[in-house]
Amino acid sequence: MKKILIATNNKGKAKDFESLFGPYGFEVQTLNDLEQDIDVEETGVTFEENAVLKAETVSKLLGIMVIADDSGLEIDKLQGAPGVYSARYAGEAKNDEANIDKVLSELQGVPEEERAARFRCVLAVAGPGIETVTFSGSCEGTILEERRGSNGFGYDPIFYSPEKGRAMAELSPQEKGQISHRGAALRQLEARLPQLLDALGGQQ
């Protein structure tokens, strides 16, 4: 089976890509599947910069096509924070619960109409002899005052989708995919997939 590498250690993100590439006969691998330890320092100040940095760095190391994702939560009341620091908002340990607690604490007492937020995602595709391309998506919502639901990961329990009338963590994976920032970026990627896989096919 042909393989494609997603430059992430996040199992939740990997599942999103498996559903996209599985029908094309590709096995999705992540950094967790590699014998070598690859950790790209995310020094960019935007999601796009970080996604491109990860994709190009890992692609050059391994000599294959790589897809990298950088995504996070932007809250208007917090001037766009946590933004690119979403995964480490409460510290370097990447603790989802601690990150959620910090956001809820910072928005304590803020009325519903001032809790607007969005999830944003940028995918970067890099490979030998291929010009790096990016795809982006966003999902608008508001920040709840308490957690709801047990699905998803990250900030999903406190992100309310007006379109679905529920928190992101209360949605099934299929429902989430219909409206999510990553789902939107993946649909853009899917539109270009035959062209990208033609290029990838010559590398296998």
DSSP label of 203: T
**Residue 11 labelled as part of a binding site:** yes
**Residue 70 labelled as part of a binding site:** yes
**Residue 44 labelled as part of a binding site:** no
**Residue 8 labelled as part of a binding site:** yes
Cβ neighbors of 171 (< 8 A, separation 6 or more) are 149, 151, 152, 161, 164, 179
**Residue 182 labelled as part of a binding site:** yes
**Residue 181 labelled as part of a binding site:** yes
**Residue 156 labelled as part of a binding site:** yes
Residue 96 appears among annotated catalytic residues: no
**Residue 59 and residue 66 in contact, taking contact as beta carbons nearer than 8 Å:** yes
**Residue 40 and residue 58 in contact, taking contact as beta carbons nearer than 8 Å:** yes
Rounded to an integer, what distance in angstroms lies between the CA atom of residue 117 and that of residue 45?
19
**Residue 122 and residue 42 in contact, taking contact as beta carbons nearer than 8 Å:** no
Q: Which of the following is catalytic: 16, 70, 76, 198?
A: 70
Rounded to an integer, what distance in angstroms lies between the CA atom of residue 90 and that of residue 203?
41
Exposed, middle or buried by CB within 10 Å (0-12, 13-18, 19+), for 151? Answer: middle
Partners of 167 in the β-ladder:
160
Per the annotation, binding residues are 8-13, 41, 70-71, 153-156, 176, 181-182
* Catalytic (active-site) positions: 70
Per the annotation, binding residues for substrate are 8-13, 71, 153-156, 176, 181-182
